[in-house]
Structure 1
Amino acid sequence: MSKTIDEFKKLNDAEEYFQFFELPYDQKIVNVNRLHILKKFSQYIQEIDEQSADLTAEEKLNQYCLALQKAYEVFLESTPQEQKVFKVFKDKPKNVITLTELSSD
């Protein structure tokens, strides 16, 4: 039974995506980085959709599968703070003074 884009669109959580694409994953990694993996995956999907309008549904799903694997692997090697996929990691806090900003008179 082949998978369809409609089935893909019904998926909700990270584990469902991994199961849909039959990709192995470590539950501990997913538990810690779930939102970051899904956000990165979403960014990759957006790039695929923008650059590959002429792909068949099967080709698009294959690209999505590779994108999920790539998003997962990013967080095997890196941290959410390093990847900065969410705005909270990009913005400098307004109420923080760094040690380099302090000077002794």
Structure 2
Amino acid sequence: MNAMIKQLTQFSAAEEFLDYFGIPYEEAVVNVNRLHILKRFYQYMRQEKGLAALDEVAMFKQYRALLMRAYEDFVHSNAAQEKVFKVFQDAEAKSFGLDKLKSTLPTLS
């Protein structure tokens, strides 16, 4: 395990990750979306191919870019729209009820 990955495993707060990677952030955005940002960062890391093969400098840059992307998702959106966690995904599915279904049907004249 390289030094950067070892360091990251010690962090628990979104601010620690953002500070480590030198990403400027608004406290208000982080206070409301900290778990969503970290979860999205993790999702982006899982989607990224070849991270483990990078040298430490390239890996740092790539992780930084992924975290910045995750943070920016919540600067321009919100947790309900981004649907990172299952509770938001389930809420959208439940909100498509009978009334919404009826409204999509053509009216008979």
**TM-score with structure 2 setting the length:** 0.77
Alpha carbons 1:5, 1:57 under 8 Å: kept: no
Distance 1:35 1:56 in 2: 28
Distance 2:74 2:5 in 1: 26
Residue of structure 2 in register with 1:68 after alignment? 67
The CA RMSD over aligned residues, in Å, is 2.3
Distance 2:57 2:8 in 1: 11
Query: Which runs of 5 or more residues in structure 2 are unaligned?
Result: 103-109
Q: Structure 1 or 2: larger helix share? A: 2
**Structure 2 matches for 1:81-100, cutoff 5 A?**
81-91=80-90, 92-93=93-94, 97-100=97-100
Question: Percent identity at matched positions?
Answer: 38
**TM-score with structure 1 setting the length:** 0.79
Distance 2:50 2:87 in 1: 28
Higher relative contact order (CA 8 A, sep 6+): 1
Distance 1:20 1:77 in 2: 22
